[in-house]
Amino acid sequence: MSSRRIGRRLIVALTAAGLLGLAGGSAADASTAASAARASAPARVQATQELVVLLSEHSAHKAPDTSSARVAVVSQVRPITGEQTTLPVLARSIRAGGAIWLQVMLPGRPDGLTGWISESGTRAAVTPWRITLNLHARRVTVYNDGSVVRVFEAVVGKPSTPTPTGEFFVEEVVQMQTGEPGGPFALALSARSNALQEFEGGPGQIALHGRDNLGGTLGQAESHGCVRLGTAAIDWLAARIGGGTPVTITGG
């Protein structure tokens, strides 16, 4: 799929939800934050995250058993890029007969949804990357193998359309067409807006993205829920972060 088509699909999804709104402000990019900002973040977090890549569509259940209630059906690919779906693994269970079930984080509403899927039809993976966002400090901290490697200043949701808090993950990484709003890249998250349930069919999906044709002052709460980063920051992230990467958003 071309970057133009991908970018348009993301803009349709996010703009329809009202999450990509025009805002004024400085166009200066944020560089790696100062040592004082680094000191405010935990020095280390969990080093790696177990992931699972779906090779087929999966039903997610409330418990590790097909007889338990189904909480979601998860496609093997993501809707914008067509990338294979990659989910963080929280736990595993071996059932009678040796069948293995995985408790995973799921995309979509409600935020923080989890479920159990069969290990059959999946491939194991792992990531050393982890992202945290402190809404009070308005800073994104990036960890590799448990240690802080970058801290970026960000634009976060304004009080009327706040960025949701909780445990999420990157669903897919989207390259935008040059000049499109929110470019040059977007990390589409499993998080959904609590203020904007939907608008003209959009899912209210939250993303970390650039500020192309959007603006916004880094370090301020001005967005409709998404997290805007400077070009250098989002370029750096897009070159390293993949699907399934855990993202923790706290209120400060």
Closest Cα to residue 129, out of 19, 236, 10, 13? 236
Contact yes or no for 241/188 (Cβ under 8 A): no
C-alpha radius of gyration, the chain, whole number: 18
pTM confidence score: 0.84
Any residues with CB less than 8 A from the CB of 126 and at least 6 apart, and which?
48, 49, 50, 51
Contact yes or no for 107/172 (Cβ under 8 A): no
Which residue carries 């909480």 as its tokens? 71
Six token digits for residue 125: 């993976």
Strand partners, 144: 129, 147
Please state, as a whole number, how many other Cβ atoms lie within 10 Å of the Cβ of residue 48.
Answer: 13
How far apart CA 97 and CA 34 sit, in angstroms, is 54
Q: What is the pLDDT of residue 40?
A: 58
- Side chain identity, residue 183: G
pLDDT in tens, the chain (252 residues): 333 333 444 444 444 333 343 333 333 333 444 344 454 567 778 899 999 999 999 999 999 999 999 999 999 999 999 999 999 999 999 988 889 999 999 998 899 999 999 999 999 999 999 999 999 999 999 999 999 999 999 999 999 999 999 999 999 999 988 878 889 999 999 999 887 655 334 568 999 999 988 888 999 999 989 999 999 999 999 999 999 999 999 995
How far apart CA 87 and CA 74 sit, in angstroms, is 10
How far apart CA 70 and CA 55 sit, in angstroms, is 19
Q: Distance from first CA to last CA of the chain, Å, rounded? A: 39
Q: What is the pLDDT of residue 94?
A: 94
Q: How far is CA 204 from the centre of its chain?
A: 13
